[in-house]
Structure formats: C-alpha cells, structure tokens
Amino acid sequence: MPRLVMKFGGTSVANLDRIRRVAKRVGVEVAKGYEVIVVVSAMSGKTNELVGWVNETSPLFDAREYDAVVSSGENVTAGLLALILQENGVDARSWQGWQVPVKTSSAHSTARILDIPTANFDAKFAEGMKVAVVAGFQGVSAEGRITTLGRGGSDTTAVAFAAAHQAERCDIYTDVDGVYTTDPRITSKARKLDRIAFEEMLELASLGAKVLQTRSVELAMRYKVRLRVLSSFEDMGDDAGTLVCAEEDIMESNVVAGVAFVRDEAKMTLISVADRPGVSAAIFGPLAEAGVNVDMIVQNIAEDGRTDMTFSLPVDQVARAEKAVREAMAREEINFHDLIADTDVSKVSVVGIGMRSHAGVAARMFGALSAEGINIKVITTSEIKISVLIDRKYMELAVQALHDVFGLEKA
C-alpha cells in the first residue's frame, strides 16, 4: 500500500480540540488506503517553555540533558494523537525517536539524521497498523543518548521519514495555506504559489521565509521527496497548498518566484586593509572562529596596495565581530585604518530558477529600487538569486516595488 507522511506543526496540535481535528484529517487519508506516518511537533510554545526552564536551571547546560528536556514536548503530542486515533477506531500507536530508531549524529541540539531503518514499521503495517505517530525533532545517538535536530527540526524528521519509506508525498500542515511570493504582511498583493522548485524553496527558506526548516528542503531536494505545504485550518482538496517539487514538474513559471528579506542585518567595513595574499583568510578566519555568520563579502579594487573590505552579518553579532577583528589587529595578523559598522540595514532578495535563462533581471531589480530612491549598499548574486543590502527604513518599500516590477501578483 502507498505510504504518506503527514507533519503537523505546533499550532496544529496546540490543544486537544486541534489534535482531534488532526486525527480527523489523518483518518481521511487512511480511508483513501494510505499507510500513514504522522510526524508531530510539540504544542505551540511548549519547546520555548522547556528551553526557558533549562536556561533558568543551568546557563552552562549539559547539551545531553538539554536534549532530554526539550525533546519531551513531542512525546506528549505523539501519545495524545495516537490515543485519539484509537478512540476513532484507527489502529495507531506512537513512536519516540529512540524506538524507531531515528539514528543521529552526537551533535546535541543540532544533530543530523544518519539513518531511519524501516523494518520495524514495515512489520507493524503488515500486521494491520494504519498509522504510526512519530515524535518529531528527536533521535538517538550512537552513544544511546537522546538528541534533537535544531529548532524547527520536525520538518526534517518528516522529510527523512518520507525519504526512508519512499512515501508518495510528504504533507506539511502548518498555520499558513502555502508558500507565498512574499510575506503577505508586507504586501497584500502577495500570492500563494501552486508549485515551487526545490532550489527556489531552498533559497527562500535560507533567506528568511520561515515556512520550512532549511535542512528539510535540502533533504527533500536530495531524495526527491515531493513536499506539500498546506494549512491544517482549512478543508482542502487534493491540490491545496504549495507543492515543492523538481524543476521538471513545473510547466511554466515566472522568471522570479519570490521576494525574500532579512530585516535585521548589519554591514561592517574595514577601511584600508593591506591588499596582499592571505588577507581575506586573516580576516574571515577569526570571524568564523568567533561564530560570526558572514554572508555577503565585497572587496574594493585596491589602490596603493590597500583596499576596503565590506561584509554583512546578523545585527546581534556585530559586537562579537568587532572584537574578533580588533584582536586579530592586536596580534598583527591584519591591519586596517578604521572600522565602520552600519546596524540599520536589511537584505532583500529576488529568487527564481528562470534567471538562469533570462537576462536583465538584475537591471530590472536595480531600476525598480532606483525609481523609489532606494540606495543599494551591497550586491551579491548567484545563479538563481540577487540580493541587495539597503537601509532598513526602506525594506517594506523595496519588497513592494520588486513584487510589482516582476509582476508576482499574477501567475
């Protein structure tokens, strides 16, 4: 029988009434003849509460115990959903990560899934089990300790089960009805996409669109898992939501699929750095060691053997970054005349696989921004994405202008 993975996020299982609604939705798929694997998150707010308790108890916590505590929210929802399914006459049981087992690395709080054996479920389905309810976000290390996969990790649990079981599809039920061309809170013209390519979703997810955990999209792309994002609050037909799929499964699409943004970015410039081999390594090595997530990097043309180096980073890492480069200067590994930090910038990006075959996307983007009088501070491009750094006060305006110029309100 075909297998289907259904994943329900925190708001979809926030209380017993909602879990009952989830059980009904699962029942519909069982009635269609699927063997269903349901992956659940903790009730919304629960994981934050658990993280808070750990921090309050022990600021320098043992990461293994952190995982033991924060993974527990999912155990509750998995058990409750299995109980309600049983009440409804559906043969169901819950599974914690270690029982499957979901084998992961030992990187506590950011573990990676290594393997999900399927024999266990195969046997139970063969005996008549209809639904396996899996606690998302958790696994077990080779040392036998409970691990978690990083915040938002139950998306990744769901995709990994879909890949391991070669499920027909992986449906991600959430509180929005799909993936939008941009955040509808920024422009009412934002439109739900029927389909989006893995590559585009990956860029959008890592550029700030928070619908799916980035790693879940990476995994779906690697194993060609058809992912559908849809709302658990609306009654839906078979083609509701947004299908995240291979490029070949999209007939015709806009050149630009969506506009993404990261509101709180910062820009740092080292003025007059010696331009010699090894200087970039000498700057970005210490930044990486300090845990600074550098994103865009621009090096000016050198004059008189000196150059300016500009890079972007999250706003809350500016102090750490400044300390790292000043210490590198004190160790005489680098030398610069001045350091300027601009903490009032945002990153706005347009993403689309159509860019590969269409020239002029950058020109249209820059034209639209200039028509609004928005100054571009830094630009980076990749094959399917163009990102700019601009003053934060223009972020909404920029997103709206780009959404308009690329005609994203129309399919």
Would you tell me which residues interact with ligand ASP (CB under 6 A)? 9-10, 41-42, 47, 73, 136-137, 151-155
* Piece of 111-119, 145-153, 185-193, 327-335 that binds Mg ion (CB under 5 A): 145-153
Question: Is 7 assigned to a binding site?
Answer: yes
Residue 46 C-beta: closest distance to ligand ASP, Å: 7
Q: Which is nearer to ligand ASP, 67 or 155 (CB)?
A: 155
Question: Is 241 assigned to a binding site?
Answer: no
* Piece of 7-15, 105-113, 143-151, 252-260 that binds Mg ion (CB under 5 A): 7-15
Question: Is 175 assigned to a binding site?
Answer: yes
Q: Which residues contact 306 (CB under 8 A, 6 or more apart)?
A: 272, 273, 274, 275
- Burial class of residue 142 in the structure, from the number of CB atoms within 10 Å of its CB (0-12 exposed, 13-18 middle, 19+ buried): exposed
Residue 7 C-beta: closest distance to Mg ion, Å: 9
Element (H, E) at 14: none
Q: Which is nearer to ligand ASP, 41 or 214 (CB)?
A: 41
Query: Should residue 136 be labelled a site residue for Mg ion when binding is judged by CB under 5 A?
Result: no
Question: Is 74 assigned to a binding site?
Answer: yes
Which residues ranging from 8 to 37 are in contact with Mg ion (CB under 5 A)?
9
- Burial class of residue 244 in the structure, from the number of CB atoms within 10 Å of its CB (0-12 exposed, 13-18 middle, 19+ buried): buried
Residue in the block written with tokens 């980073």: 313
Residue in the block written with tokens 């329900």: 8
Token readout for 183 is 């955040």
Helices 63-70 and 46-57: angle between axes, nearest 10 degrees: 150
Give the type of residue at 16.
L
Token readout for 90 is 């559906």
Residue 257 C-beta: closest distance to ligand ASP, Å: 24
Question: Is 385 assigned to a binding site?
Answer: no
As a whole number of angstroms, the distance between CA 202 and CA 216 comes to 9
Question: Is 9 assigned to a binding site?
Answer: yes
As a whole number of angstroms, the distance between CA 330 and CA 315 comes to 24
Q: Which is nearer to ligand ASP, 35 or 155 (CB)?
A: 155
Q: Which is nearer to ligand ASP, 77 or 253 (CB)?
A: 77
Residue 47's binding partner among Mg ion, ligand ASP, none (Cβ under 5 to 8 angstroms by kind) is ligand ASP
Token readout for 157 is 């649990």
Q: Map residue 333 onto helix, strand or coil.
A: coil
Query: Should residue 152 be labelled a site residue for Mg ion when binding is judged by CB under 5 A?
Result: yes
| Residues that contact Mg ion, how many (by CB under 5 A) | 2
Edge-to-edge strand list for the sheet holding 92-95: 92-95, 131-135, 35-40, 3-8, 169-174, 227-231, 242-245, 195-197
Q: Which is nearer to ligand ASP, 74 or 200 (CB)?
A: 74
Backbone angles phi, psi at 348, to 5 degrees: -125, 135
Question: Is 210 assigned to a binding site?
Answer: yes
Residue 220 C-beta: closest distance to ligand ASP, Å: 15
Question: Is 310 assigned to a binding site?
Answer: no
Residue 66's binding partner among Mg ion, ligand ASP, none (Cβ under 5 to 8 angstroms by kind) is none
Positions that interact with Mg ion (CB under 5 A): 9, 152
Q: Which residues are annotated as a binding site for ATP?
A: 7-10, 174-175, 180, 185, 210-211
